Structure 1
Amino acid sequence: MSETADILIVGAGIVGCSLAYHLALQGGARVAVVDKDLVCSGSTGKSAGGIRQQFATELNIRLSLESIRMFERMPDELGVDPEFRRVGYLFLATTQAELALFRANVTLQQRCGVPVQMVAPDDIRRLVPFGRFDGILGGTYCATDGYASPYEVTMGYAAAARRRGVRIHEQRAVTRVLREADRVVGVETTTGPIHAPVVVNAAGAFAGLIGEMAGVDVPVKPYRRQLFTTLPVPAFAAEPPLTIDYHRNWYFRGELGGCLFSGPKDEESTFNTNVDWEHLAESVEQAMVRLPLLAEAEIHRGWAGLYEISPDNNAILGPVPELAGFFVAGGHSGHGFQHGPIVGKLMAERILGGHPSIDIAVLGIERFRTGKSVAEPMTMHQA
């Protein structure tokens, strides 16, 4: 006898697990999740865990504000500590055009209630006294931004979903999306089919491949980004803000008394998650442009993850019109972890037939077919 579910989610990252939990919480019966690997083993588990309110579109700001409230409630709601460290976010501008963009962003962010401010070069040096900021014209700073633990949060949602009856199938790859005419009816997996009238593509960087299996175009591409950490560095004892050199598409933050910094970002789309250790010296040299102290630091470890990039650097949320019962929740373009909590809630509301408490209709997949995409310039892929 084949397995069945009422709603099947492909992908057990932050979005898939949050969605599973919120579907069960909102009364969705017989929810299942399937993943080719383990819970939180993909892009979510390899992210830097950033949480910020500094976006250029009102919708992304609202999603951040609500997700932050959800992160704050997690100890009571999920029984886990998300390890949310509000160290602040500092964006650096190198050109007048970047400075103008930041000023416009701050106006919008403040109107939405975000406690953000423009900062001058002297302010930046006070915030990060050990940094080198040659050529920096100014920036923006929000003290209530920070980062949390992707693993703790995702496992918290997975455990809470299981307590509410959700089945999570790990190490069970989807090999085909099953359809009858213009309706989805389930998936084929490496260990047999799972039939379901609703299938949600929350496969992260692999969302495009799952779309192909369903016979629909889901415009999400994977791009590798490498990260490195150092052993403890005295200057990081008082943890600095997560700092983003927008022009150079580079960032750093504290990590267990040391420094976490970004390495190269691939220009070509691949599924490669190997670390280019042979180019480590080049990565450190690039980091030393802003952090000269890294010349004396010892690299502790490195890893690589995949951004899931959409054409306009915004999430793709909602049904696929040409395939009834098939939904997409992906393409977050580098802000999937921070928006995962609220996206799971909103998508559950949409799938169960209600009206999402935040209108996400503009993020539907059809925007790419009607010329109504909504660009988000404040992403690490776009910068």
Structure 2
Amino acid sequence: MSSPESPVVVVGAGIIGLSAAWHLAGLGQRVLLLDSGTVAGGTTTAGAGFVGQWAAGYAWYWNESERDVEQYGIDFYRDLAGAGHGPTGYRQNGNVWLTVTERGRADHLPPFEQHPLRPAGARTLTPAEAADLVPGLDPAAVTAGFLHPDGIQISAPDTARALTASARARGVEIREHTPVSGLEARDGSVTGLRTAGGEVISADRVVLAAGSWTNALLAPFGRELPTVRVVASRLVTTPFGLPGSLPTLMLPELHGLWVREHRGGLTYGAGPGYEPLHVGGADRRDEPARRPVRTDLLDAMRTYLHPIVARLLPAAASVLGVDETPTQGVVSMTADRNFIVGAVPELRGLVVAGGDNESGVTHGPGLGRIAAELSVTGTTTVGDASRYAPARFPAAAPTEAEVVAMMPARREADARRAGAVS
């Protein structure tokens, strides 16, 4: 049991850490939340802010557990938007998957059409039906579509600010610009942590939600997570009158292209804007920049995407490449593409929540809840915690290049071609 004067300390104030702190306070805990910079000033700020049930046809390696975590996030953001803690940009616009070739239609739509977790109201779209749902879409540019009507959009930075206000209203103490340099332990149990300024904070329960910075804190205790840190990029155009009702568009056959409306313009991204940090020679314990600047990735993404987006949404052609605003962050992908949330076997009292798999905004509320409940009760009421336990991996992690080689194929069609699924 924790001593009355000792808080539960959460390290990392991204969306997962904020959620963990919020849920811990809701469980009656005194909570101290620390971040090395500003709240949600790292990868969360770069979040594109579209949320959906990816386990129902898009992420073939996920099941009911991830679907439940996703639905929890959808409900959480709806409730937060109505709680009066500030604007969140919440809207239920739905998610529309599109294909641009007949091969793409055959490869990527059946997993949605046949999925046992297919949500109510989901349906296949002809090109004309897709154009009716997607303002400005040229139906001649697509071969088919599929609608998940319950998908939502939020502003990740605005939502983080609203969640911060809600957490503070619950009594969470938040300290910004307080880097943690190490964990304190005795006899196999966590006893607190040290800040870069030399302060020692006593705590017999810690939730480590530091994203791509997690392994540097875990390594001294013989545990590292099998993750690979990846620079993720997106672009934001100037406004051109695009209506806010635009659903989030997903085109998996085009290097995972996604497109959504942003303040009358577009924000969009795809595979050419991504690169693992180790490709540039970074060691897994090197601390990445909170907000990296990789102009080469942005240029590659522009070259690939501008003609594609202009074909899909002809009205966007005039603004593509004109004063576009880039945003980049560092996401953590895991060896099995599932999340890592749970007790660290080597250190009692320590719960880790990491490996966002580039879907931290979608899953952050649920993963934060799981981390909080495991820290307080040892069990959770959302999802299957055994799927996320750090102990499913060996304590000694492979290199980041080896993690990439271990990861299952991103698309079910690719996995089928490789013989990974029947």
Q: Does the alignment reach a TM-score above 0.5?
A: yes
Contact 1:206–1:222 (CA under 8 A) maintained in structure 2? no
1:243 matched to 2:249? The reply is yes
Residues 363, 375 of structure 1: alpha-carbon distance in 2 compared, 3 angstrom cutoff: farther
| Separation in 2, partners of 1:129, 1:146 | 17
The residue number in structure 1 matching 2:125 is: 119
How far off its partner does 1:35 sit? Answer: 1.0
Alignment check: 8 A CA contact 1:118 1:141 kept = yes
Structure 1 residue 211 displacement after superposition: 2.1
Aligned equivalents of 1:218, 1:356: Cα separation in 2:
21
Whole-angstrom distance in 1 between the partners of 2:410 and 2:154: 23
Q: Does 1:159 align with 2:177?
A: no
What's 1:347 paired with? 371
* 1:91 aligned onto 2:117: no
State whether residues 244 and 262 of structure 2, in contact with CA within 8 Å, keep that contact through their aligned partners in structure 1: no
Alignment of 1:14-25 (within 5 A): 14-25=15-26
Partner of 1:202: 209
**Structure 1 residues not aligned, in runs of 5+:** none
TM superposition score normalised by structure 1 = 0.86
Paired residues of 1:5 and 1:32 also in contact (CA < 8 A) = no
SS in 2 for 1:243: strand
For residues 24-54 of structure 1, what are the alpha-carbon distances to aligned partners after superposition, in whole Å with 9 as ceiling and x for unaligned? 11112x3211111110101111111111113
Deviation at 1:197, TM superposition (A): 1.0
**Residue 40 (structure 1) aligns with:** 40
Aligned residues: 372
Q: Shift of the alpha carbon at 1:296?
A: 1.8
Per mean C-alpha deviation after superposition, the further-off stretch among 254-263 and 354-363 is 354-363
The match for 2:418 is none
Q: State the 1:13 CA deviation.
A: 0.9
Aligned to 1:218: 225
TM-superposed CA distance for 1:230, in Å, is: 1.1
Whole-Å separation in 1 of the counterparts to 2:183 and 2:394? 23
Question: What do residues 113-145 of structure 1 show as CA deviations (whole Å, max 9, x unaligned)?
Answer: 443223344433444464568885534221221
SS in 1 for 2:275: coil
Partners of 2:277 and 2:102 in 1: CA distance:
28
CA deviation map 1:273-310 (0-9, x unaligned): 44444665543332233222444212341121111211
Residue number in structure 2 paired with 1:269: 277
CA offset at residue 187 of structure 1?
A: 1.2
Give 3-state SS (helix, strand or coil) of 1:187's partner: strand
- 1:204/1:369 CA distance change after superposition, 3 Å: same
Where does the alignment leave 5 or more consecutive residues of structure 2 unmatched? 279-287, 396-405, 416-422
1:166-198 residue CA offsets vs partner (Å, 9 max, x unmatched): 221211111111222422221111121112111
Which residue of 2 is the match for residue 296 of structure 1? 318
Would you say 1:173 and 2:174 are equivalent positions?
no
Matched residues in 2 for 1:205 and 1:134: separation? 42
1:366 corresponding residue in structure 2: 391
Identity of aligned residues (%): 25
CA contact (8 A) 1:132 1:289 kept: no
- 2:151 is the alignment partner of 1:150: no
**Among residues 297, 319, 325, which one is paired with 2:349 in the alignment?**
325
The answer to whether the 8 A contact 2:112-2:146 is kept is no
Counterpart of 2:344 in structure 1: which amino acid?
V
Is 287-296 or 141-150 further displaced after alignment?
287-296
- Quick one: distance in 2 between partners of 1:369 and 1:135? 47
Superimposed CA distance per residue, residues 217-269 of structure 1 (whole angstroms, 9 cap, x where no aligned partner)? 122332111111111124x2364221122122222111111111116333322
- Whole-Å Cα distance in 2 between the matches of residues 343 and 34 of structure 1? 18
C-alpha separation in 2, matches of 1:10 and 1:91: 36
**How far off its partner does 1:364 sit?**
1.0
Q: More displaced, 265-274 or 37-46?
A: 265-274
